[in-house]
Amino acid sequence: MLLADYTPERVAIKDYKGVPRMEVRGLSLDDVSLLVRSHLADLQRLYDLLNGGDVADAFKLLITDGFILKLLTDFPELAARMIAVAADEPGATANARRLPLPLQIMAIQAIMRLTFEDVGGPKAFVALIGSMIGKLPLTGAGATFTP
């Protein structure tokens, strides 16, 4: 397949009646860059939260639904912006914040799946990043990540 033929997969997020409320796709490098530029303080707090204890525990949280719940409850503006960006409506953050919580959860789950599925899921992504950084210290003295 040629790069010119690439179209990101989109998933419809449906309400309890089966009515599609929006479509989302995985996040690209541009999307992540936008989120970093617009939510640097939240991302720093999220990083600190994930990195506050054992590195392995932080990565376990990152690849579970516990991360999604933490994102929605502690970082609602970041979560809403992520949903809006993945729906190709970056200006609709306020609308994403007004979505019912179950739809927000389904949207974030779909975004995470679509973002990481081409490398085998979040666990494989973490392993890929881990293989790139090897045993480099991530924080503090002696903290390392070994894939």
DSSP assignment letter at 144: B
As a whole number of angstroms, the distance between CA 36 and CA 144 comes to 24
Could you report the per-residue pLDDT of 94-125, keeping only the tens digit for each?
Answer: 999 999 999 999 999 999 889 887 767 666 66
> Cα–Cα distances in Å, from 35 out to 85, 95, 117?
9, 17, 20
Could you report the per-residue pLDDT of 17-26, keeping only the tens digit for each?
Answer: 999 999 999 9
Least confident of 22-26, 35-39, 90-94: 35-39
Contact 9, 113 (CB under 8 A): no
Checking if the pLDDT of 145 tops 50, the result is: no
Residue 122 has φ and ψ, to the nearest 5°, of -60, -35
In this prediction the pTM is 0.75
